[in-house]
């Protein structure tokens, strides 16, 4: 028995008893202060559950902030770069928010739960930032991270499984739509969102419902080959599907110490999320200036020759180093070797032919490989199921 | 207008791959298929309403990722999904399971023998070494050892050097390995019957040899050579069944302008002035082309659809003597639910892998004895899979599709043709074997398709039902495949080529023979190469 207080030890999520029971590999990681599984039984097979059946990922550690009050929409319009008014009630919008210098702090999803009732779901903690931004707005911000448990239920059979759980007519829900149900007398909210690029949903319940939800999901999902997935499998799916990850593909602006290490939305390929028609939002004037002057970097998706993932590679144009890789993987479904890179302007336009300087180790021996690569215009994996409504049964 | 630049005979995966690369190079190509459907042995068929069978080939691991990527097969709908697990059920009610995690696998082996569990690392390293020697040659034409051409000499030298670099001890091990039996090879590492038997299966699948027959150690390697995602030896299913591979290949082929003609049963390759000039169908239709590629096995290619007077005696003799013996059969079964096996919770993930019932080399060898005696095995070796545990599209929810590869089944029963009674007896031996370990199995059977070598040969056109289109023993590998002097995809007739699994690097749904043959054809035509090389193997 430890003689120090356990108050500050890592937390477990509301699903932990169930997660632990299924975690054959006992391979745990620390995500946002929570003990979460890196892998349950086999990273590759977990990944394939998302692509072929249903994979369940415990995303309870995500930060969730409720924004309510008469000025909720105005507040968010100042906070994020896109037009919040375009997100209807019971719809979700992908969003980024910048500091005053137009540098990206985080990305996340904005759930519109009512006329002036929103939930921000973010990767980073944002209590401080959200609080400072309330100055002058009649809004209330509530951190409900611990009050909402969540599961990502992703994959071709996910709609069928959730329908069996009682989510009636879920197949009619459009991408980024929200539907409300009840589960054992408590509310259950489903959004057609996810981080995998496949057909998939996120299911949100009060923590008290968590264990029963997990149990029923896996019981009902058995015939649909439901499997739990850990963070390594999700990482593979998100790279293949073209999603960026804070702290991996960009540094949250407020955490950056060294000059020049932050990135703007344009430099991350997220310019489409910036709406200059809005008169004011954080970072607007800096971003306008950047648009006139040009950006320093370009986000590039690279199709790399060969089968060695270009992890941590330098990107060369001729002999000159013009960039670095932030994420890379051999994509199991697309059968392609993909890398995301930050490339110095003017390089990295679609079609540009570059070289990845790859280092890999076999039996303590390092090899340097110069792999030609090409900038592609879209993620390598595209599942039509992701966008189909009604959602396919498998 | 039946005039093409090239005609490929047989729309199996190699024919379609070959056609795709020729069409990609700008040639006007037709692939002719005897059956009303494409795929050859790479098919999915709904033989029981709601259940899809990969009723010939049933797993995909050898399919070259270079080809999948280059022909953009995922964009054309192909999704290969890995599976894991696997087990050998034992007579004593226990089982031996296969775990992907190294340390879990260690624990499972140690349950049977700590020494074997530890020896596994040595076994894995030695076997990987052999795999590494051969893998670089999968996507290449084998060098001709008698040729003085610079390319052949260079390749031979490289080949020789990769062996000499091993050092004396490993070179000796290697020479032994290539000629050894899988049983003797495994005996050098393991002491436990079930562990050896579980691993030995890969050494006999598709081969008319027993676990103690020389040459079967290499066959084991052939099964380990595949990779799903650089994970050497990992296995996958094509989502929707193996036909999804043929479908994606056909779409790639058609995207380059290729044409597929079904119900086109080739009678003979037309040869004029010593050159291929086209093909004549059994119904009299003729298709003209200066390039004719046969995706039939070497026996059918040279003994059935080529006029003997167009061939040198030497080739006829080699084709006659080519070893392509039927050794296996298959049951495809629609199940009303998941069978329960003794000693294993049906929810165990091991169930999603390859399942077997031969728990000793002794039993496997006895199964081969029956084949030698001209009958099917009374205690058959089964390579059984339940793809519907990985792919939800193969059967209705909660129901299952089972694929049972059976060894051994002779090409002829005691010297005579198979009869329907024989087929029933063969089927019974398999169902009895499974029922011995699964009390509820028999009651779950809704439909069963049984294929002896007779059915496989008649429907798919594989001589004697040999799944590899010729045995994978050293006398028929590399520059010996299909026979010495003709291992570079060319036939003795100008303009006539081979691209089947009967050529290097052999059977399994690999698509490498089709691609390699296309590279040689394009070189002869002095066209730019459209075929990718292999990924570096290190």
pLDDT at B1: 65
CA atoms of A69 and B512, how far apart (whole Å): 64
Question: Model-level pTM?
Answer: 0.95
> How far is B369 from B233, CA to CA, in rounded Å?
29
Identify whether the C-beta of residue A98 lies closer than 8 Å to the C-beta of residue A259.
no
Element (H, E) at B81: strand B80-83
Measured between alpha carbons, how far is A343 from A301 in angstroms, rounded to an integer?
Answer: 10
State the pLDDT at residue A201: 98
A368 inside 8 A of chain B by CB: no
CA of B390 to nearest chain A CA: how many angstroms apart?
7
A72, with CB counted inside 10 A (0-12, 13-18, 19+), is buried
Report CA-CA distances (Å) from A349 to A267, A298, B9: 12, 8, 44
A40 touching B, CB under 8 A? no
Cβ pair B358, B364 in contact under 8 A: yes
Place of tokens 């199709």: A303
Residues in chain A: 394
Cβ distance A118 to A76 under 8 Å?
yes
Q: What is the pLDDT of residues B217-226, one digit of tens each?
A: 988 888 877 6
Distances (CA, A) of B391 to A108, A160, B51: 32, 15, 12
Whether A158 has a pLDDT exceeding 60, the answer reads: yes
Closest-approach residue (CA) in chain A for B387: A225
Spell out the alpha helix ranges (H) of B165-312: 168-179, 182-187, 193-204, 216-224, 243-255, 298-299
Residue of B nearest to A360 (CA): B538
Mean pLDDT per segment of 10 residues, for chain B of length 538 residues? 94 98 98 97 96 94 89 95 94 95 95 97 91 87 90 91 91 90 96 97 94 93 67 77 98 98 98 97 97 98 97 96 96 97 90 97 98 97 97 97 97 96 98 97 98 95 94 90 95 97 94 97 97 84
Q: A332: burial class by Cβ within 10 Å (0-12, 13-18, 19+)? A: buried
B67 CA: distance to closest CA in chain A (Å): 10
Contact B230 A307 (CB under 8 A): yes
Contact at 8 Å (CB) between A47 and A41?
no
A11 lies within 8 A of chain B by CB: no
* Other CB atoms within 10 Å distance of the CB of residue B1: 6
Parallel, antiparallel or unpaired: strands A186-191 and A140-143 = unpaired
- Concatenate the DSSP letters of all residues of B101-161 into one string: SHHHHHHHHHHH-HHHHHHHHHHHHHHHHHHHHHGGGTTSPPP-TT---HHHHHHHHHHHH
Question: What is the model's pLDDT at position B231?
Answer: 55
Touching B: A residues 181-210, CB under 8 Å: none
A21, A42, A359, A374: best to mutate for the B interface, most B CBs within 10 A: A42
SS3 call for B329 = strand
Nearest to A248 by CA among A312, A152, A338: A312
- Using alpha carbons only, how large is chain B's radius of gyration in Å? 22
Q: What is the pLDDT of residue B535?
A: 85
Euclidean distance between CA atoms A316 and A236, whole angstroms:
25
A223 and chain B in contact, CB less than 8 A: yes
Question: Which token pair is B267?
Answer: 């009678």
Q: Tell me the pLDDT tens digit for each residue of A188-202.
A: 999 999 999 999 999
Domains and CATH numbers, chain A: 16-62+146-241 (3.30.1360.120), 63-143 (3.30.70.1400), 297-378 (2.40.30.110)
The SS3 call for residue B466 is coil
B122: exposed, middle or buried (Cβ count in 10 Å: 0-12, 13-18, 19+): exposed
Whether the Cβ atoms of residue B214 and residue B181 lie closer than 8 Å to each other: yes
Q: Is A330 on the interface with B (CB under 8 A)?
A: yes
Strands of B396-500, DSSP E: 400-407, 445-451, 496-498
pLDDT confidence of residue A233:
97
pLDDT at A6 over 80: no
ipTM: 0.94
Put the strands of the sheet holding A149-154 in their side by side order: A178-183, A186-191, A200-205, A149-154, A54-58, A226-228
Q: Does A24 touch chain B if contact means CB atoms closer than 8 Å? A: yes
- Residue B405 has which token pair? 């590869």
From B349, B391, B535, residue closest to A306, measured CB to CB: B535
User: What is the chain A residue with the closest CA to B400?
Assistant: A223
pLDDT score recorded for residue B178: 87
Indicate the SS3 state at residue B418: coil
In the three-class reduction of DSSP (H, G, I as helix; E, B as strand; rest coil), residue A233 is classed as helix
- Chain B residues with CB under 8 Å of a chain A CB are 65, 68-69, 73-74, 79-84, 100-101, 104, 228-231, 234, 239, 347, 349, 389-393, 397-398, 535-536, 538
Contact call for B101 and A42, based on CB within 8 A? yes
Contact between chains at A44 and B229 (C-beta distance less than 8 A) = yes
Q: Which residues contact A257 (CB under 8 A, 6 or more apart)?
A: none
Interacting residues of B17 by C-beta distance below 8 A, sequence separation 6+: B67, B71, B249, B499, B511, B514, B515, B518
A225 φ/ψ sector (left φ>0, alpha ψ -120 to 50, else beta): left
Angle at Cα B532 formed by Cα B530 and Cα B537, nearest 5°? 170
User: What CATH number was assigned to the domain covering residues B6-42+62-79+239-322+482-524?
Assistant: 3.50.50.60
Closest Cα in chain A to B397? A223
Query: A118 pairs with which residues across the strands?
Result: A67, A112
A91 with A153: CB under 8 angstroms? no
Residue-wise pLDDT for B28-68, tens only, equals 999 999 999 999 999 999 999 999 999 999 998 789 989 99
Nearest chain A CA: its distance from B46 CA (Å): 17
Q: What's the angle, vertex CA B112, arms to CA B82 and CA B121, rounded to 5?
A: 60
Angle between helices B114-134 and B102-112 (to 10 degrees): 130
Classify the phi-psi angles of B241: left when phi > 0, otherwise alpha if psi is within -120 to 50, otherwise beta.
Answer: left
Q: Which residues of B touch A367 (CB under 8 A)?
A: 538
What are φ and ψ of residue A302, in 5° steps?
A: -115, 135
Q: How far is CA A195 from CA A237, A252, B257, in A?
A: 8, 19, 37
In the predicted structure, residue A239 carries a pLDDT above the cut 80: yes
Closest CA to A157 of A176, A171, A172: A171
Q: What backbone torsions phi and psi does residue A275 show, to the nearest 5 degrees?
A: -115, 100
Average pLDDT over residues A91-101: 97
* Cβ-nearest to B100 among A42, A52, A334: A42
Look-up: residue for tokens 């040659």?
A: B137
Q: What is the chain A residue with the closest CA to B125? A: A363
Q: What is the pLDDT of residues A289-302, one digit of tens each?
A: 999 999 999 999 99
Hey, CA dihedral for B228, B100, A34, A312, is it positive or negative? negative
Across chain A, mean pLDDT equals 96
What are the backbone dihedrals phi and psi of residue B45, each rounded to the nearest 5 degrees, phi first? -135, 135
pLDDT of residue A65: 98
Which chain B residues are Cβ-neighbours of A336 within 8 angstroms? 69
**Candidates A45, A306, A334; nearest CB to B74:** A334
Closest of A159, A130, A157, A151 to residue A142, by C-alpha: A130
Q: Residue B58 has what pLDDT?
A: 93
Tell whether the torsion through CA atoms of B133, B139, B144 and B150 is positive or negative: negative
The answer to whether B305 and B267 have CB atoms below 8 angstroms apart is: yes
Mark yes or no for CB contact B69/A25 under 8 Å: no
Structure tokens at B394: 């193969």
Angle at B163 between CA B162 and CA B167, to 5 degrees: 110
Tokens of B526: 């002095």
Q: What residues of chain B lie within 8 A of the CB of A394, using their CB?
A: 392-393
The beta-carbon contacts of B113-116 under 8 Å, at least 24 apart in sequence, are B113/B190, B113/B191, B113/B192, B113/B195, B115/B191, B116/B189, B116/B190, B116/B191, B116/B192, B116/B195
* Minimal CA separation from A367 to chain B, in Å: 10
Query: What is the pLDDT, as a whole number, of residue B221?
Result: 86
| Residues of B in Cβ contact (< 8 Å) with A41 | 84, 101, 349
Option in B83, B535, B538 nearest A362 (CB): B538
Beta strand spans in B345-421 (E)? 355-356, 381-385, 400-407
**B74 and A307: CB-CB below 8 Å?**
no
pLDDT, residue B61, reads 75
Are the beta carbons of B230 and A42 separated by less than 8 Å? no
Q: How far apart are CA B46 and CA B26, in angstroms?
A: 35
């Amino acid at each position: 028995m430890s003689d120090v207080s356990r108050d500050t030890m890592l937390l477990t999520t509301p699903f932990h008893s169930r997660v632990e029971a299924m975690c054959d590999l006992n391979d745990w990681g620390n995500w946002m202060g929570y003990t979460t599984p890196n892998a349950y039984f086999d990273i590759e097979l977990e990944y394939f559950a998302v692509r072929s059946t249903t994979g369940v990922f415990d995303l309870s550690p995500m930060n969730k902030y409720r924004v309510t009050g008469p000025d909720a929409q105005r507040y968010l319009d100042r906070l994020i770069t896109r037009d919040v008014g375009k997100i209807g009630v019971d719809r979700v919008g992908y969003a980024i928010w910048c500091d005053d210098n137009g540098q990206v702090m985080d990305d996340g999803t904005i759930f519109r739960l009512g006329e002036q009732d929103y939930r921000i779901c973010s990767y980073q903690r944002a209590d401080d930032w959200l609080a400072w931004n309330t100055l002058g707005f009649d809004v209330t911000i509530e951190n409900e991270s611990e009050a909402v448990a969540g599961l990502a239920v992703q994959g071709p059979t996910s709609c069928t499984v959730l329908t069996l759980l009682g989510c009636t007519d879920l197949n009619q829900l459009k991408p980024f739509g929200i539907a409300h149900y009840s589960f054992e007398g408590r509310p259950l909210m489903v959004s057609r969102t996810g981080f995998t690029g496949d057909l998939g949903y996120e299911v949100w319940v009060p923590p008290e419902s968590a264990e029963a939800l997990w149990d029923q999901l896996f019981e009902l999902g058995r015939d649909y080959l439901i499997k739990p997935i850990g963070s390594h499998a999700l990482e593979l799916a998100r790279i293949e599907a073209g999603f960026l990850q804070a702290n991996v593909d960009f540094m949250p602006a407020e955490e950056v110490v060294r000059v020049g290490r932050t990135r703007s939305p344009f430099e991350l390929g997220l310019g489409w999320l910036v709406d200059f028609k809005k008169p004011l939002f954080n970072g607007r004037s800096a971003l306008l200036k950047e648009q006139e002057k040009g950006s320093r970097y370009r986000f590039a998706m690279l199709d790399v020759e060969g089968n060695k993932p270009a992890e941590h590679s330098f990107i060369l144009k001729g002999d000159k180093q013009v960039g670095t890789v932030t994420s890379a993987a051999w994509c199991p479904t697309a059968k392609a070797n993909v890398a995301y890179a930050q490339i110095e302007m003017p390089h990295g336009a679609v079609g540009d032919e570059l070289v990845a300087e790859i280092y890999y180790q076999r039996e303590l021996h390092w090899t340097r490989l110069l792999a030609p690569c090409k900038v592609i215009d879209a993620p390598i994996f595209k599942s039509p199921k992701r966008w189909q409504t009604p959602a396919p049964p498998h | 207008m039946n005039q093409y630049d090239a005609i490929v005979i047989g729309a199996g995966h190699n024919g379609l791959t070959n056609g795709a690369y020729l069409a990609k190079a700008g040639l006007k190509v037709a692939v002719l298929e005897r059956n009303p459907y494409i795929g050859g042995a790479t098919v999915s068929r709904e033989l029981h309403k709601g259940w899809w069978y990969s009723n010939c080939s049933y797993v995909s691991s050898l399919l070259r990722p270079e080809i999948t990527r280059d022909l953009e097969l995922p964009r054309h709908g192909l999704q290969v999904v890995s599976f894991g697990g696997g087990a050998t059920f034992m007579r004593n009610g226990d089982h031996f399971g296969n775990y992907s995690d190294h340390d879990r696998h260690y624990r499972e082996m140690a349950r049977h023998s700590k020494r074997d569990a530890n020896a596994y690392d040595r076994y894995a390293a030695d076997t990987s070494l052999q795999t590494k020697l051969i893998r670089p040659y999968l996507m290449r034409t084998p060098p001709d050892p008698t040729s003085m051409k610079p390319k052949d000499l260079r390749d031979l030298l490289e080949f020789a050097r990769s062996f000499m670099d091993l050092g004396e001890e490993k070179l000796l091990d290697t020479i032994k390995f290539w000629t050894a039996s899988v049983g003797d090879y495994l005996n050098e590492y393991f002491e436990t019957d079930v562990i050896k038997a579980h691993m030995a299966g890969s050494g006999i699948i598709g081969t008319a040899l027993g676990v103690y027959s020389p040459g079967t150690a290499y066959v084991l390697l052939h099964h380990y050579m595949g990779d799903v995602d650089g994970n050497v030896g990992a296995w996958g299913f094509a989502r929707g069944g193996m036909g999804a591979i043929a479908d994606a290949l056909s779409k790639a082929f058609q995207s380059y302008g290729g044409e597929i003609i079904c119900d086109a049963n080739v009678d003979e390759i037309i040869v004029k002035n010593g050159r291929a000039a086209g093909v004549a169908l059994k119904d009299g239709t003729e298709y003209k082309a200066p390039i004719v590629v046969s995706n039939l096995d070497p026996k059918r290619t040279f003994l059935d659809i080529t006029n003997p007077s167009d061939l040198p005696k030497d080739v006829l003799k080699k084709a006659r003597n080519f070893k392509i013996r039927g050794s296996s059969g298959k049951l495809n079964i629609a199940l009303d639910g998941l069978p329960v096996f003794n000693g294993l919770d049906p929810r165990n993930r091991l169930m999603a892998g390859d399942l077997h019932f031969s728990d000793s080399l002794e039993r496997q060898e006895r199964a081969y004895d029956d084949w030698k005696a001209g009958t099917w095995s009374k205690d058959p070796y089964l390579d059984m899979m339940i793809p519907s545990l990985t792919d939800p599209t193969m059967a209705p929810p909660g129901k299952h599709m089972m694929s049972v590869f059976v060894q051994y089944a002779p090409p002829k029963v005691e010297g005579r043709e198979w009869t329907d009674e024989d087929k029933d007896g063969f089927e019974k031996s398999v169902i009895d074997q499974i029922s011995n370990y699964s009390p509820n199995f028999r009651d779950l059977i809704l439909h069963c398709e049984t294929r002896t070598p007779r059915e496989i040969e008649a429907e798919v056109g594989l001589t004697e039902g040999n799944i590899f289109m010729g045995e994978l023993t050293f006398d028929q590998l590399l520059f010996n495949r299909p026979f010495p002097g003709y291992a570079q995809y060319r036939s003795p007739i100008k303009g006539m080529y081979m691209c089947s699994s009967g050529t290097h690097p052999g059977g399994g749904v690999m698509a490498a023979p089709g691609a390699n043959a296309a590279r040689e054809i394009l070189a002869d035509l002095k066209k730019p190469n459209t075929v990718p090389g292999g990924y570096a193997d290190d």
